[in-house]
Structures are given as structure tokens and as C-alpha cells.
Chain A
Amino acid sequence: MSDNMVTTLRILLQSLAGTFFGMVIIYAAIKLLVKYFPEDKEDN
């Protein structure tokens, strides 16, 4: 793969999409954690 502007743009768009995708997964994971582990008795 050559180092040109098109490659740069492709890499940057892929990484932007990858970052949002990762955040969506982490968002879903937090939602599940909060749902299945609500306030427990040990919390004061």
C-alpha cells in the first residue's frame, strides 16, 4: 500500500469509525453492568 492522500483518508475514516464502534460496545457494556449490578448492599 502506498503512502498517499487517499490511503491517509481511508485510514483516518476507518479509525474514526473504529473509535465510534468501540464506544458503542463500551456503552452497551456499561448499560448491561448497571442493569445487572445495581446498587448492592455493600455500598454505603
Chain B
Amino acid sequence: MEVLIASFQAMTWKSLVMFVIGGILIYLAIKKDYEPLLLLPIGFGAILANIPFSSAISENGFLTILYKAGIHTELFPVLIFIAIGAMIDFGPLLQQPFMLFFGAAAQFGIFMTALLARGLGFTLKEAVSIGIIGAADGPTSIYVANLFAGKLLGPITVAAYSYMSLVPLIQPPVIKALTTPEERRISMDLNLHKVSKTTRILFPIVVTMVAGLIAPMSVALVGSLMFGNLIRECGVLDRLSKAAQNELSNLVTLLLGITIGSTMVAEEFLTWKTIMILLMGLFAFIFDTAGGVLFAKFLNLFLPRKINPMIGAAGISAFPMSARVIQKLAQKENPGNFVLMQAVGANVAGQVGSILAAGVLIYLVSALGL
């Protein structure tokens, strides 16, 4: 009889809180449709990890094996990037390469948040991992956190994916606070030139080489993203492209979520650090948005033909949500205004910018030898 009630006796209030947190994540995924592909498996993984004596996270438990094979080795984020690369159409960016600079400016949140985290007492490696939430890119956050702050992987991932799903709520008030209705009504050029197939094929190869030479530590991320894109654009690997977009993406997402959830063990998750990380994640997204908008406004001081500054906010890599938010805001001010192509261009530039920023940061921090 004692054996049967041993688990109940081993339960603590912390385990119960983690069950509630797991339940909330599942609720948000199902009822609110907040990143259900990730939040539901994460929520369930958190429940599995907090059942006393859980065989799922024992030495040879399936989640332990998945963690060692997929997260510790960084394999899952890299595989996800192949899938994302196969899904992204870089056409709008190739038509307006200027949008790349918004993809860099909207990484401002990374730097502000990392600085804040360091000021709050986190180590440099932890601060950088928390700052990367501002990349608005789940796999990049997982990649960096696992490299520099494995113990913070759970809260960082939850923050990254939660705020990505909340982009439609976070960005509009920040944009409205920093722009005037006249600025939001600025229309953009609709006559964009066509991009040749050769350019589309060469783009992923060139970006991989450039990013790799600037930040060798970014090769795994950029290389996998661009490999996926090359499969998509080459025109002779449709089967593989579809497999990457569907089967690979679905399978890895499924395993990634539940494995991340398994790291949310009460003793490590229920700390002040987690609450601070969740708050700083919000801070990161707000500063990303502000950085993009203010950079566009700065450029408008010099440009003969003004840019709608809201497009700067689409430079975060929460794709394609951010671009849709910007288009919606533009049409609210002027129903005939169509800025979606420019916003999508900035949005995919954000994908490149976030990986590049992460690669440069990994390179610089690793070089310190701390």
C-alpha cells in the first residue's frame, strides 16, 4: 500500500503549482490559440516532469533521451530552421533589400534586454540568453539558452513563444505611441520588380557564406535556414521541400515542445528568476518594436521619399504575424493603404537579422572564455 501512495506523499506545493502552470499553457493553446503547436506540448511536458518519480524524466526516461539527443546537441532547433527556411519566401526582401536594415534595427530589444538582465544581477551568459528572447525567434532562443544558460531554458522558451503569440497585442500600442496618424498613413511603392530564379537560388548560398564569414558561430543556424530555402527555391526538390515544410516541421515541433516542457522541473522553474525572465521578455518585444519604428523615423529625416515607419516594427522575426499586424494598422488609418509586401520584406529580414545577431553574440561571448 505504501508503494501506491508514495507519489502522493512526495507531492509538494511546488509540484501542484507546476501542474497548474502546465494546465494554463494547455488552456492558452487550446482556448486562446496562443502558439498551440508549442505551448500545448510544453504544458504537457511540464506536467510529465513534475509527477514525483516520473519515469519520463528518469535517467533513461524518454524525455531525458530526447533532451540529450535533440536539445543538448542543438539538433532540434537546427532541424526546425531547415523547415522554416523551406517555408519562407524571401522574394519580398530581394525586391526591396533596403528592408534588411529594419531586420537589424528591430534586434534592438536583444541588446536593451541583455543590458537590463546584466544590471539585475544575471551573469553575462545568462543575460545574453535572456536578451535573445528579443530575437522573437523560438529556435534561436532555445539554441542560445542551451549553449549559455541551460538551467534557464524552460522560462526563456516559454517567454519567447508566449510573447510571439502576443505580437498582435504588444506591437500596436507601442507603434501608436511612437508615430502620428499622418506617418501611419504614408503609402509605399507598389511597383516592385520581379526577382529572377537565379537570384533566388544564389541568395541562400551567398547569405550563408557572408554570415558564416562574419560570425562562424552562426553557421549552424544560418546554414540550416538557408539550406531549407535552397531546397525550396532550386525547383528540383519539391518533394524534399514539402517534406521539410510539413513532416519535418511537425515532427520536430512535437518533440521539441514536450522536451522543453520536461525541463520545467518545479525546483528550477519556480524561482524569482523565472518571473524576471517573463517580464524581461515583454520588455524585449517592446524595445524591438520601438527600435524598428524609431530607426525608420530616423531614416525619414534623410530620405526624399518617406517610409511608413510602422514597417520598421515588422523587422522582428515573428513571421508572418508582425507583417499582418502592420498591414492591419495601416489599413485602419487609410483603408486604401497596402504596405504588406514591404512589411513582409522587413519581417523575413528580421529572421536573417535575429540569427546574425545571435551568431555574433555567441561568437563574442565564447571568445571571452568566461
Give A residues with C-beta under 8 Å from B: 1, 3, 5, 7-9, 11-16, 18-23, 25-27, 29-31, 33-34, 37-40, 42-43
Contact = CB atoms under 8 A, between A and B. Distances in A.
Chain B facing A: main interface SS: helix
Interface stretch (B94-102, B253-261, B274-282): B94-102
Contact of A20 (B104, B194, B352): B104
27 contacts: A3-B368, A12-B114, A13-B111, A15-B357, A15-B361, A16-B107, A19-B357, A22-B104, A22-B214, A22-B360, A23-B100, A25-B210, A26-B207, A29-B210, A30-B97, A30-B199, A33-B198, A33-B199, A33-B203, A34-B94, A34-B195, A39-B193, A39-B195, A40-B197, A43-B194, A43-B196, A43-B197
B118 A5 contact: yes
B313 to A, nearest CB: 17
A34 B200 CA distance: 9
A18 B357 CA distance: 8
Contacts, number: 118
Interface stretch (B44-52, B119-127, B331-339): B119-127
Interface in B174-211: 193-199, 202-203, 206-207, 210-211
A39 B95 CA distance: 12
Contacts of A25: 210, 214
B210 A26 contact: yes
A25 B127 CA distance: 28
A41 to B, nearest CB: 10
B24 interface: no
Given A5-B119, A30-B94, A37-B202, A19 B210 contact: no
Contacts of A27: 97-98, 100-101
Contacts of B214: 18, 21-22, 25
Given A11-B124, A31-B97, A43-B197, A19 B104 contact: yes
Contacts of B357: 15-16, 19
Contacts of A7: 124, 368
A19 B107 contact: yes
